[in-house]
Structure 1
């Protein structure tokens, strides 16, 4: 059981600087630290590289099934908890281990494999051009609301067959879901309702989009399974990519060292994106695994039913893995930003195509780009899981062609 006063998990996502927070957790607790998810609800934050690899690679000991969570079983966490959409059992690939997990993962693997990355890149380029054209004449913008939040959403909307208006509704619902705040349960309901309507329309009129592909996949045995596959495809590939783009642009604006290396060509766009994945990944903390029996991890006694959160940003501060040196080096992709083990993220390649294109387009087109507010005033969207800038108000000089017709995917 956890006995020491735990740090609220939100302190690791909303703090001005990640470094001191994780350094203190490592100093005081080592690779596994007690944290508080909401008042009175405790968990373990696993930050050690080897401990995380073991945690994610041993599903027979650490389950992905939220029904194994003791705090839910004993009523400490109620069914209406804001933690529910991210931590409760989901009857989809996320909620299962073993053979059932592999069956439900195959349709997603096939859907992602069906994406043509050249066409995807052209689609993203066109979307970026259209979005920038919408604010270029002003010479000012919020690069989160008007750009980073829109690019992945509209791109994935194209892939699954949503129109732009529906895609923006979906974004609002997803923000609530990932925020684990008071509106998270309602956000989850709206999210699934929007995708349920899309699935219903594609059953009546199939197309060549990914929704239609999933609806006819032989490994998905029911309409409910097909809907949940669409839910996972959209949720896994959208909010995290928004955070990835926004965090990279934020570093360009607030970190002169980072910006000079990118602008000077010493750091390529892919290397810049990998640096962000290493030190401030889109998912700072990933929910969750649940201990199937009493065990030990990182020197801590883990009780059956304890929740263990994947500290994907905390890994960058593991002194055993990095020998006291700076974790990130150019070309290093040894981070765990995509997770590890059977539940590792499937969408890393399309996410990279979207993020690379969005960041490169913004840096190429928006010249003399700088913040219009004090960097210290920049905050983050409330969430114990993600660290997405709430806003990036900027001014710039635009060098920009007329928008072109957007290709379909």
Structure 2
């Protein structure tokens, strides 16, 4: 691939919108189209007039996320933001504007803001959490088991996820439905919805933090409020939003994609139900094929450099194409048996900013999928697989709904 001059690149029209890789029926086909034209790194359009590089090669993505001296998480380094090309009310704001959060920090600042997240994960009582998740999953299935139909997103995956996340942070039940709507909007693409979502999340977190000032608890909100590395309510709120939002999105999508693959991919379902594929290996296969965040924002070049034959200039934004990198044939074999147990996927990113909550996320997802497998043994998709609709987002890919049918559970007679 010949080196691409930035000036020529910025004059190009008709670049693929990033959202085209998440809202289509076959994301890998969209990634292949980009790779055929550009190679492992391709220019994409984030919104009209706002371009970025989409990093799709496994090696190239690892190179970006593991080199803070060249690629920063701090979007204050984003040239298009500095120059005012990105509007203050842009729909990109929720995911790409600077915040006092570990996700947007480098070096010592990142380590300071990251330590409360690591401490929060290490403080979890996993046995207690597992009991809560099992009870929540069973209650949700019981709520529709006698009906014979359900939406496994709106009535199961998303509910289990939001109840678990809300419980960990001490968010009361009255706020949970509103919190879920707000978190979905934050990962979406509409700026007006995101602005309203941000205010709603702030209101819910403010209420929760005020309650903890009166009566402290063992929840994660209380832990963050007591943590010496978080300076003031703003950093507490940002840490909470980061962990809560990422936790909800990752767990919901992981559950959703596993259930969707069980219901629409006969080969996958047969291997799983027949015992030829263990549940943990099945969950890893889902992470390879449909990571919870297929496109992750962002890194910002601190120097002019070359990446996959392209000249990246200082201040350029680079989007991490997790789903595309996972499909990179350079990290796969032709033997499906050798692929089992391979966890070199980038679903959780890599380097200093790799997700700290992989273990609890796996536990929650595993329980949710296992419960559905055992309590809905004859469940089937109620629509053709190609009619599944997707929530609009350039970053995330989750079914809007997953309608199913099954044999209704007979209630015992009194």
Q: TM-score range by the shorter chain?
A: over 0.9
Matched, 1:111 2:98: no
Query: What is the SS of the residue equivalent to 1:367?
Result: coil
Query: What is the SS of the residue equivalent to 1:125?
Result: helix
Matched, 1:389 2:399: yes
Deviation by residue 1:263-320 (Cα, 9 ceiling, x = unmatched): 1111111111111111110101000011112111111110111110000000123233
Check conservation: 1:366, 1:399, Cα contact below 8 A: no
Aligned to 1:27: 36
Question: Of the candidates 258, 266, 269, which is equivalent to residue 279 of structure 2?
Answer: 269
Shift of 1:18: 2.3
Matched, 1:16 2:25: yes
Aligned to 1:294: 304
**Inter-CA distance 323–192: structure 2 relative to 1 (3 Å threshold):** same
State how many pairs are aligned: 402
Aligned to 1:205: 215
With the length of structure 2 as denominator, give the TM-score of the two structures.
0.93
Aligned to 1:71: 80
Instruction: Provide the C-alpha distance between the structure 1 equivalents of 2:143 and 2:378, rounded to a whole number of angstroms.
Output: 18
Instruction: Provide the C-alpha distance between the structure 1 equivalents of 2:96 and 2:411, rounded to a whole number of angstroms.
Output: 45
Matched, 1:282 2:292: yes
Instruction: Provide the C-alpha distance between the structure 2 equivalents of 1:400 and 1:330, rounded to a whole number of angstroms.
Output: 39
Check conservation: 2:288, 2:327, Cα contact below 8 A: no
Instruction: Provide the C-alpha distance between the structure 2 equivalents of 1:134 and 1:149, rounded to a whole number of angstroms.
Output: 14
Question: Of the candidates 175, 187, 196, which is equivalent to residue 184 of structure 2?
Answer: 175
**Inter-CA distance 208–317: structure 2 relative to 1 (3 Å threshold):** closer
Flag as ranges the 4+ runs of structure 1 deviating above 4 A.
323-328, 398-402
Matched, 1:234 2:244: yes
Instruction: Provide the C-alpha distance between the structure 2 equivalents of 1:19 and 1:161, rounded to a whole number of angstroms.
Output: 39
Higher deviation after alignment, 23-32 or 283-292: 23-32
**Inter-CA distance 324–188: structure 2 relative to 1 (3 Å threshold):** farther
Aligned to 1:149: 158
Q: CA RMSD in A?
A: 1.7
Check conservation: 1:289, 1:307, Cα contact below 8 A: yes
Any stretches of 5+ residues in structure 1 without a counterpart?
403-409
Deviation by residue 1:73-132 (Cα, 9 ceiling, x = unmatched): 111110100110001111111121000110111111111101111111111000001111
Query: What is the SS of the residue equivalent to 2:145?
Result: helix
Q: Superposition pairs for residues 4-403 of structure 1, below 5 Å? A: 4=12, 5-182=14-191, 183-322=193-332, 329-398=339-408
**Inter-CA distance 206–383: structure 2 relative to 1 (3 Å threshold):** same
Any stretches of 5+ residues in structure 2 without a counterpart?
1-5
Higher deviation after alignment, 278-287 or 160-169: 160-169
Aligned to 1:407: none
Aligned to 2:3: none
**Inter-CA distance 296–324: structure 2 relative to 1 (3 Å threshold):** farther
Deviation by residue 1:40-91 (Cα, 9 ceiling, x = unmatched): 1111110111111110111121111111111111111101001100011111
Check conservation: 2:72, 2:106, Cα contact below 8 A: yes
Query: What is the SS of the residue equivalent to 1:313?
Result: helix
With the length of structure 1 as denominator, give the TM-score of the two structures.
0.95
Query: What is the SS of the residue equivalent to 1:220?
Result: coil
